[in-house]
Amino acid sequence: MNFKVNPIFENNTDSILNTIKMFSSTGELFGNGDRNKIKLFDFNGKTINIKSFKVPHFINKIAYKYFRKSKAKRSFEFANKLLELGVGTPEPIAFAEFSSVFGLEKSFYVSEHLNADLTYRELVEIPDFPDRENILRQFTKFSFDLHEKGIEFLDHSPGNTLIKKNASGNYDFFLVDLNRMEFHNSMSFEMRMKNLCRLTPLEEMVATMSNEYAKYYKAESEEKIFETLWKYTSDFQEKFYRKKRLKKKLKFWKK
Q: How buried is 201 (Cβ within 10 angstroms: 0-12 exposed, 13-18 middle, 19+ buried)?
A: middle
Rg (CA), the chain: 20
CA 95 vs CA 52, 121, 153, 251: distances in Å: 10, 28, 20, 36
pTM, two decimals, is 0.90
Neighbouring residues of 243: CB distance < 8 A, sequence distance ≥ 6: none
Backbone φ and ψ for 26, nearest 5 degrees, come out as -135, 180
- Structural domains of the chain sorted by starting position, each given as residue range(s) with its CATH number in brackets: 2-112 (3.30.200), 118-243 (1.10.510)
Pair 55, 67: CB distance under 8 Å: no
pLDDT tens by residue, the chain, 255 residues: 899 999 999 999 999 999 999 999 999 999 876 779 999 999 988 999 999 999 888 788 888 887 899 999 999 999 999 999 999 999 999 999 999 888 999 999 999 999 999 999 999 999 999 999 999 999 999 999 999 999 999 999 999 999 999 999 999 999 999 999 999 999 999 999 999 999 999 999 999 999 999 999 999 999 999 999 999 999 999 986 776 656 655 555 555
